């Protein structure tokens, strides 16, 4: 069988090539453009300019604030929902999760349009509360992406753990803090990664509620429209570094928990 | 947690998630241009949606793009998963690492980086649709890969060997024995690829031809404009998409239940 001209391992080749050329190579090209000037000479000028300019540093801080707030609110809303669906009153109704995940499949610009109309009705003019509206729309957009991983990790959790806690006279609060919460860390971590980075870069949400303050994604968008490839690439490279860092930390957190739970 | 608190939490979150969509769907059947003031019922929005040339070509274009990207990603991701599954550890590690990149990466960065490589560096013309299709396929195929791999792991490997012993060529064994067993994974990967392409805004913005619009880019541009007939026709579009999604989720659920019962 191995001697034939066809080997199933060769099937990996087209996909390996595709990933190398269209996924990995673009990242190197972006890093190269980010650290060169328009003439192609190696330069840290853009990099230094980003971290010394108050405006761009302000953008970085503003996107972090939006991302952190969005993530926390999503977590606070999603955790009780995921718990009730996985362990509470709705635990036997398996298809009920679908109702909470379904909005993921509706185009997000159309969903934000719907929410925007409601907010306009409630507030009169969206321009009065740009920050509040941004957070509401971000939470609305990303909530299903937080509920799903939380549900998956809570549903896997053995009920006897919680019962053991209660048998050993843990109060419901203690049981939550010392049993449920630590065991659901993998779900929390993957939910946070699904919300945090998109919330830092999804500048369409801000555009749609007329919030003219920039976040990191808006910078790439504006450099793109002014054909400033070097600065656009620099922002992408900075985001890449953050993504790499977050992925490393989360992989470790999830990995540790999986080892611990064995 | 008390029973009634649990029901209240579920109800409140559901209201937050669904009321905007439902209210907008209701108003799409009226002739009002703003939510809150009903004048009369009408199907004008639906007529505009399917007669206005710009809207029609945008919808057809989005669907064709999603189908093309869906098919391409499914082929690449499935063949890649089969190949990687039988490859040696180092190859598989490389694939899994690269596969993870578009999934964790921000779409803005994915789209911009493909734009830099193909359009800025290699001077490929945007209007050929090549950068757009490649960039969206780079986003979607990793999700296909991830939905096919678990099916390969579940598969009974002796069936493939049995096929070979009974005189199948390796490619026949692959098509007649392996593929049918992983088909549910392939289908769900295909569906994921389609929805990702339909939902995408950022990758399309950085790689699409200037005159081409997807639903997302069109909606974002329309919110900047002031044409109310277009604005309310988009309410009709969101009502239709909502209905399609609800129906397909119900069908999928019924199918999944039947499959479970058969076991």
pLDDT in tens, B44-72: 999 999 999 999 999 999 999 999 999 99
pLDDT over 80 at B1, yes or no: no
Q: Comparing A49-63, B18-32, B74-88, B212-226, which segment has the lowest mean pLDDT?
A: B212-226
Of the two residues B68 and A197, the one the predictor is more confident about is B68
Task: Name the residue with tokens 């404009």.
Answer: B225
Identify all chain A residues contacting B74, using CB atoms and an 8 Å cutoff. Answer: none
Which residues have C-beta within 8 Å of that of residue A213, sequence separation ≥ 6?
A: A62, A130, A131, A206
Q: What is the dihedral of CA A156, A158, A162, A168, to 10 degrees?
A: -150
Percent of chain A with pLDDT over 70: 95
Percent of chain B with pLDDT over 90: 67
Identify all chain A residues contacting B116, using CB atoms and an 8 Å cutoff. Answer: 26, 29-30, 33, 229, 232-233
Q: Do A107 and B115 touch (CB under 8 A)?
A: no
Selected residues 202-241 of chain A with any CB under 8 Å from a CB in chain B:
202-204, 207-208, 217, 220-221, 224, 229, 232-233, 236, 239-240
Tokens of B110: 């994915």
pLDDT over 90 at B241, yes or no: yes
Counting beta carbons within 10 angstroms of the beta carbon of residue A76, is it exposed (0 to 12), middle (13 to 18) or buried (19 or more)?
Answer: exposed
The per-residue pLDDT for range B84-117, each reduced to its tens digit, is 998 888 889 999 999 999 999 999 999 999 999 9
Residue B89 in contact with partner chain A when CB distance is under 8 A: no
pLDDT on residue B263: 65
pLDDT over 80 at A261, yes or no: no
pLDDT on residue A256: 62
Q: Classify the phi-psi angles of A124: left when phi > 0, otherwise alpha if psi is within -120 to 50, otherwise beta.
A: left
Three-state helix/strand/coil letters over chain A: CCCCCCCHHHHHHHHHHHHHHHHHHHHHHHHHHHCECCCCCECCHHHHHHHHCHHHHHHHHHHHHHHHHHHHHHHHHHHHHHHHHHCCCCCCCCCHHHHHHHHHHCCHHHHHHHHHHHHHHHHCCHHHCHHHHHHHHHHHHHHHHHHHHHHHHHHHCCHHHHHHHHHCCCCHHHHHHHHHHHHCHHHHHHHHHHHHHHHHHCHHHHHHCCCCCCCHHHHHHHHHHCCCHHHHHHHHHHHHHHHHHHHHHHHHHHHHHHHHCC
Tokens of A187: 């779900």
Report which DSSP code applies to B129: S
Domains and CATH numbers, chain A: 8-260 (1.10.3720.10)
Identify all chain A residues contacting B169, using CB atoms and an 8 Å cutoff. Answer: 4, 6
Confidence band, pLDDT 50/70/90 cuts, at residue A128: confident
Architecture of domain B54-224: Orthogonal Bundle (1.10)
Average pLDDT score, chain A: 88
Closest residue on chain B to A15 (Cα): B80
Identify all chain A residues contacting B205, using CB atoms and an 8 Å cutoff. Answer: 221, 224
How many CA atoms lie within 13 Å of B167's alpha carbon, on the beta-carbon side? 0
Closest residue on chain B to A241 (Cα): B105
Residue A113 in contact with partner chain B when CB distance is under 8 A: yes
Chains A and B: how many Cβ contacts under 8 Å? 256
Least CB-CB distance to B98: which of A9, A19, A89?
Answer: A19
Give the ipTM of the model, two decimals please: 0.91
The mean pLDDT of A12-26, rounded to a whole number, is 95
Average pLDDT score, chain B: 91
SS3 for B123? coil
The per-residue pLDDT for range B176-209, each reduced to its tens digit, is 888 999 999 999 999 999 999 999 999 999 999 9
Identify all chain B residues contacting A85, using CB atoms and an 8 Å cutoff. Answer: 10
Q: Do B170 and A100 touch (CB under 8 A)?
A: no
Q: Do B108 and A10 touch (CB under 8 A)?
A: no
pLDDT on residue A163: 81
Rounded CA-CA distance A162/A166 in Å is 6
Residue B120 in contact with partner chain A when CB distance is under 8 A: yes
Least CB-CB distance to B241: which of A23, A107, A224?
Answer: A107
pLDDT over 50 at A2, yes or no: no
Residue B9 in contact with partner chain A when CB distance is under 8 A: yes
Contact B101, A238 (CB under 8 A): no
Q: Do B104 and A103 touch (CB under 8 A)?
A: no
Residue A38 in contact with partner chain B when CB distance is under 8 A: no
Confidence band, pLDDT 50/70/90 cuts, at residue A1: very low
How many CA atoms lie within 13 Å of B241's alpha carbon, on the beta-carbon side? 28
Selected residues 40-69 of chain B with any CB under 8 Å from a CB in chain A:
none
Identify all chain A residues contacting B201, using CB atoms and an 8 Å cutoff. Answer: 108-109, 204
Please, what sign has the CA dihedral across residues B14, B15, B16, B18? positive
Task: Name the residue with tokens 């088909």.
Answer: B183
Contact B209, B135 (CB under 8 A): no
CB crowding B89-102: b at 16 or more within 10 Å, else e: eebbebbeebbbbb
Percent of chain A with pLDDT over 90: 60
Confidence band, pLDDT 50/70/90 cuts, at residue A260: very low
Residue B207 in contact with partner chain A when CB distance is under 8 A: no
Contact B129, B214 (CB under 8 A): no
Q: Do A197 and B104 touch (CB under 8 A)?
A: yes
Contact A208, A137 (CB under 8 A): yes
pLDDT on residue A258: 52
Among A1, A18, A86, A114, most B C-beta atoms within 10 A, so best to mutate, is A114
Which residues have C-beta within 8 Å of that of residue B174, sequence separation ≥ 6?
A: A8, B82, B160
The mean pLDDT of B146-172, rounded to a whole number, is 88
Residue spans per domain, chain B: 1-42+229-263, 54-224
pLDDT over 50 at A226, yes or no: yes
The per-residue pLDDT for range A20-70, each reduced to its tens digit, is 999 999 999 999 999 998 787 888 888 898 999 999 999 999 999 999 999
The mean pLDDT of A5-33, rounded to a whole number, is 89
Query: What length is written for chain A?
Result: 262
The mean pLDDT of A129-149, rounded to a whole number, is 95
How many CA atoms lie within 13 Å of B197's alpha carbon, on the beta-carbon side? 33
Report which DSSP code applies to B128: G
Rounded CA-CA distance A241/B105 in Å is 10
Which residues have C-beta within 8 Å of that of residue B259, sequence separation ≥ 6?
A: none
pLDDT on residue A262: 37
Confidence band, pLDDT 50/70/90 cuts, at residue B168: confident
């Amino acid at each position: 069988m191995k001697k034939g001209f066809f080997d199933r391992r060769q099937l990996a080749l087209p996909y390996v090539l595709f990933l190398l050329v269209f996924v990995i190579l673009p990242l190197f090209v972006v890093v190269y453009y980010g650290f060169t000037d328009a003439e192609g000479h190696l330069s840290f000028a853009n990099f230094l300019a980003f971290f010394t300019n108050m405006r761009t540093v302000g953008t970085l801080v503003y996107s972090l604030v939006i991302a952190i707030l969005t993530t926390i609110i999503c977590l606070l809303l999603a955790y009780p929902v995921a718990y009730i669906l996985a362990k509470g009153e709705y635990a036997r109704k398996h298809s009920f999760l679908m109702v909470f995940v379904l909005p993921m499949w509706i185009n997000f610009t159309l969903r934000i349009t719907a929410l925007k109309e409601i907010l306009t009705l409630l507030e009169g003019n969206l321009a009065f509360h740009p920050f509040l509206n941004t957070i509401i729309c971000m939470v609305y957009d990303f909530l299903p992406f937080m509920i799903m991983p939380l549900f998956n990790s809570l549903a896997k959790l053995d009920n006897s753990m919680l019962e053991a806690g209660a048998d050993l006279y843990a109060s419901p609060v203690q049981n939550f803090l010392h049993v449920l919460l630590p065991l659901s860390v993998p779900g929390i971590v993957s939910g946070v990664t699904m919300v945090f980075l998109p919330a830092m870069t999804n500048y369409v949400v801000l555009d749609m509620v007329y919030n003219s303050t920039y976040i990191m994604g808006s910078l790439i968008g504006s450099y793109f429209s002014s054909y400033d490839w070097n600065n656009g690439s620099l922002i992408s490279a900075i985001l890449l570094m953050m993504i790499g860092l977050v992925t490393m930390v989360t992989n470790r957190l999830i990995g540790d928990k999986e080892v611990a739970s064995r | 947690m008390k029973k009634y608190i649990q029901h209240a939490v579920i109800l409140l979150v559901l209201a937050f998630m669904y009321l905007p969509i439902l209210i907008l769907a209701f108003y799409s059947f009226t002739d009002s241009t703003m939510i809150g003031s009903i004048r009369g019922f009408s199907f004008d929005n639906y007529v505009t949606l399917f007669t206005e040339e710009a809207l029609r070509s945008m919808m057809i274009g989005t669907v064709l793009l999603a189908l093309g990207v869906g098919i391409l990603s499914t082929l690449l991701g499935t063949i890649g998963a089969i190949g990687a599954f039988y490859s040696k550890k180092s190859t598989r590690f490389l694939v899994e690492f690269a596969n993870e990149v578009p999934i964790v990466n921000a779409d803005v960065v994915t789209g911009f980086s493909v734009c830099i490589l193909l359009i800025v560096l290699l001077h490929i013309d945007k209007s050929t649709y090549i950068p757009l299709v490649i960039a969206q396929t780079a986003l979607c195929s990793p999700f296909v890969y991830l939905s096919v791999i678990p099916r390969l792991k579940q598969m009974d490997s002796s069936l493939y060997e049995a096929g070979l012993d009974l005189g199948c060529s390796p490619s026949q064994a692959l098509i007649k024995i392996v593929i049918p067993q992983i088909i549910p994974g392939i289908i769900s990967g295909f569906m994921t690829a389609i929805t990702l392409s339909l939902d995408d805004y950022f990758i399309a913005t950085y790689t699409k031809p200037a005159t081409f619009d997807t639903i997302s880019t069109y909606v974002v541009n329309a919110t900047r404009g002031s044409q109310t007939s277009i604005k309310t026709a988009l309410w009709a579009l969101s009502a239709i998409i909502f209905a399609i999604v609800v129906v397909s989720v119900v069908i999928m659920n019924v199918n999944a239940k039947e499959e479970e019962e058969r076991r």
